[in-house]
Amino acid sequence: MNTPRTDKIPYGGDYNPEQWPEPVWDEDHRLFDQARIDTLTVGVFSWSLTQPAEDAYDFTVLDRILERAAAEGRRVCLATGTAALPPWLALAYPEVNRTDFEGRRHGYGQRHNFCPSSPAYRRLCTAIAGRLAERYSDHPALLAWHINNEYGGACYCDLCAAAFRTWLREQYVTLDALNDAWCTTFWSHRFTDWYEIEPPNALTEHWRGPDHTAFQGITLDYHRFMTDALLGCFRAEKEAIRRHDAETPVTTNFMGMYRPLDYHRWAPHLDFASWDSYPPLDAPPTMAALGHDLMRGLKDGAPFWLMEQTPSTTACRDVNPLRRPGELRLATWQAVAHGADAALYFQMRASRGACEKYHGAVIGHAGRDDTRVFREVAEVGRELEELGSVALGARTPARTALLFDWDSWWALEISDGPSRLVRYQQVVHAYYRAARESGADVDVVPVTADLTSYDVVLAPALHMVKGDLATRLEAVAARGGTVLTTFLSGRVDEHDNAFLTDVPGPLADLMGVRVDEWDSRPADVINPVLLGTGDEALRTDGRLVFEIVLPQGAEPVGTYQADFYAGTPAVTRHSFGESGGEGWYVATALDQPGVDWVVRRVLARHGLVGPYAEYSSVETACRTAPDGTPLFFLLNHAPEAVSVTAHATAVDLLTGKEVERGEPLTLDPCGVSVLRLQ
């Protein structure tokens, strides 16, 4: 790992001083001092400023920005500025502009507007990245490199078509292998020449939009190709930087659960992970937490940077609610609790114009230091400063893993049947939420991860099973662990072809079930499910997909209560191996109380239900500092105070107060405690 070297959690955010006259900079830095701002992300959209023409570079303004930061004792995360083309580039090289899903070549405008297969874009973006690295690699303010910004989107132009064919040749080598993988004998699509292959879009294989495709194999591969094409742009810029700067860490800012790009394919090429957290403000706290844990899992549990969050409100949605008092502090500490080693905002000063002029900022248009938002930002800065280096580099000692797989996400949602109403992200979040609200720390990991350290592996909606994954999941249960999976799991191989065996395919032996039929119904149709017996029984609801399960050694834990399959299993448990391992199978989309019931029982058999699980609004998280010190975070997401009983003797690092085990501990509304356990 090559992570930025700091003596505390970096605090600050995106700063675009080129938008204002220099006298404003003086006021900005005065206010930065008040708010304990020590880190600035600069140059994110500066390409047209630093390169006003193809044969001209001008670093005058950027020089002054970095010199001023250094003079003020602040560090800089320096962006290459290549996320938005300068107008001259798009006009000189029209092929740089993207072609959309409907086949329309776009003119200049917006951002993320470049074709990743364009030689002109690749040549010019690496040239500016190299020039920046050559000029600033030894600058005292430089802390990290920030390549591009929020990579995303897709292109369907002729350049991408040619690059796609090259990519396919490398993947499949022969047309026979490709035709077999894509099942092209269906509908007479068998290809006899590579040049017959066109990108899957509205003019070729698709109907009713990007998720409706006649051939899932080609669409799935185009997702993979576009992920790799954009990654190629990142890698080219990183290589250009490395020719002049061999040490400064390099990253780009991800967007959490962002469907278009498989971040697991990117992870090895980043020195450290970073992301921009903008969850809907009416989403449960576990939605942002899942994004944090996903980012932490990209680099084998290493800390990540929270590169952006809003200090108050967003501007890109139809309705943009304001963060209530205390919510900014709570969100920042939640990120730290889940592994963030930096807390940065977008934006430091509100933009004067264009589409983000109403986006929240640390400093508003009037430049005041007496606003509620500025005061809250300053208070968080004070707390992070007082915390010092205690949490830097701390890791999460999780014994529960949740598998997150972009291939399964894509394959499930482009599938014709059983139900287009099933959304991968929602299913995964339901099981993650159940585990987190039970007090378990969760590592969100790829399907290729080493699973030997986990007692529980949650694999909801594991639609695609690749390589030796089934064997590795069986090994978890064989040594006494528990594996849980759900409906629509184990259905297809890496090419999205159905397994020619009983459902759930390679997972059948572990789960001890066979599924011959499945019933898909509209969202308003429910089938009651009875979970458990006696005092612990819960009557809950299943929706969307109802798989009809034939036990093959598994025992029913919950049963359907209606329709012709009433009384058949909806949830099963299967003993596996000689060490007491289990495989749990959930055959329908249970509502959240039902998911909670199942997951809590899975966790309980391994002693993983946390000491504060009875407090519905209190989130907990653990990090272990590099010196072995355990840090325990308590976050109250309720608008009212909550009193809990301390589970251990500790010192609250935010207040200095000592807490004895068994003593009451009060968390204010949106309150936070960071406990150093004794």
Whether residues 464 and 573 share a domain: the answer is yes
| Whether residues 571 and 643 fall in one domain | no
Question: What's the CA gap between 455 and 522, in Å, rounded?
Answer: 36
**Helix (H) or strand (E) run with residue 266 in it:** helix 263-266
Q: Counting Cβ atoms within 10 Å, is residue 655 exposed (0-12), middle (13-18) or buried (19+)?
A: exposed
Residues 127 and 241 in one domain: yes
> Within this chain, do residues 549 and 622 fall inside the same structural domain, yes or no?
no
- Does residue 518 sit in the same domain as residue 425? yes
Rounded percentage of the chain residues whose pLDDT exceeds 90: 98
- pLDDT of 107 > 90? The answer is yes
Q: What is the pLDDT at residue 103?
A: 96
pLDDT tops 90 at residue 463: yes
Is 150 noted as a catalytic residue in this protein? yes
pLDDT of residue 111: 87
pLDDT at 280: 83
Quick check: is 227 in a domain?
yes
Q: Is 499 exposed, middle or buried (0-12, 13-18, 19+ CB in 10 A)?
A: middle
- Based on the fold, state whether residues 414 and 544 are members of the same structural domain: yes
In a domain, 405, yes or no: yes
How much is the pLDDT for 472? Answer: 98
The pLDDT-based confidence of 282 (bands split at 50, 70, 90) is confident
Q: How far is 344 from 323, CA to CA, in rounded Å? A: 16
2 pLDDT exceeds 90? no
Q: Which of 18, 67, 134, 150 is catalytic?
A: 150
Q: Is residue 35 part of a domain?
A: no
The predicted-structure confidence for 47-67, as pLDDT tens digits, reads as follows 999 999 999 999 999 999 999
| 522-549 residue pLDDT tens | 999 999 999 999 989 999 999 999 999 9
Q: Band of the pLDDT at 516, cuts 50, 70, 90?
A: very high
Establish whether 308 is a catalytic residue.
yes
The answer as to whether 376 is a domain residue is: no
User: In this structure, are 472 and 543 located in the same domain?
Assistant: yes
> Apex CA 394: angle with CA 397 and CA 426, to 5°?
60
Residue 281: per-residue pLDDT: 75
Structural domain boundaries enclosing 495: 400-606
| pLDDT for 673 beyond 90 | yes
| 155 assigned binding-site residue | yes
Whether residue 656 lies inside any domain: the answer is yes
Please tell me which residue in 205, 237, 308, 582 is annotated as part of the active site: 308
What span, in angstroms and rounded, lies between the C-alpha atoms of 251 and 281? 27
Q: Is residue 525 part of a domain?
A: yes
Residue 149, annotated as binding a ligand: yes
Residue at 259 is within a domain: no
- Final residue of a structural domain among 545, 578, 606: 606
Would you list the DSSP string of 302-324? --EEEEE--SS--SSSSS-PPPP
**Residue 586 lies inside a defined structural domain of this protein:** yes
* CATH code where residue 161 lies: 3.20.20.80
pLDDT band at 258 (very low <50, low <70, confident <90, very high): very high
Among the candidates 226, 250, 274, a domain finishes at 250
Confidence bin at 112 (pLDDT 50/70/90): confident
Q: How many other CB atoms are found less than 10 A from the CB of residue 60?
A: 10
379-410 pLDDT per residue, tens: 999 999 999 999 999 999 999 999 999 999 99
Predicted confidence (pLDDT) per residue in 594-630, tens digit: 999 999 999 999 999 999 999 999 999 999 999 999 9
Answer yes or no: do 517 and 652 share one domain: no
Same-domain check for residues 108 and 203: yes
pLDDT per residue as tens digits for the range 558-587: 999 999 999 999 999 999 999 999 999 999
For residue 440, give the nearest of 601, 278, 330 by alpha carbon. 601
CATH of the domain at 635: 2.60.40.1180
Check if the beta carbon of residue 484 is closer than 8 Å to that of residue 457: yes
Q: What average pLDDT does the chain have? A: 97
pLDDT band at 117; cut points 50, 70, 90: very high
Are 459 and 485 spatial neighbours (Cβ–Cβ below 8 Å)? yes
Find the Cα–Cα–Cα–Cα dihedral 263, 265, 266, 269, rounded to 10°: 150
Is 320 within any annotated ligand binding site? Answer: no
pLDDT mean over 371-376: 98
Q: Which pLDDT tens digit goes with each residue over 11-31?
A: 999 999 999 999 999 999 999
Cα(454)–Cα(450) distance, integer angstroms: 9
Domain tally, the chain: 3
What's the pLDDT band for 662 if we cut at 50, 70, 90?
very high
111 is in an annotated binding site: yes
In the DSSP assignment, the letter for residue 104 is P
Contact 489, 461 (CB under 8 A): yes
* Global confidence as pTM: 0.97
Tokens of 317: 């949605």
Is 157 labelled a binding residue? yes
Give CA separation, 431 vs 559, 599, 617, in Å.
19, 7, 17
The predicted-structure confidence for 176-216, as pLDDT tens digits, reads as follows: 999 999 999 999 999 999 999 999 999 999 999 999 999 99
In whole angstroms, give the CA distance from residue 460 to residue 481: 16
Q: Are residues 631 and 595 in the same domain?
A: no
Domain boundary among 250, 281, 296: 250
Q: Where are the alpha helices (DSSP H) in 114-260?
A: 119-136, 158-172, 175-182, 216-242
Which CATH number do you get for residue 467? 3.40.50.880
> Residues 593, 655: one domain?
no
Residues 113 and 156 in one domain: yes
DSSP designation for 96 = G
Task: Return the DSSP state at 670.
Answer: T
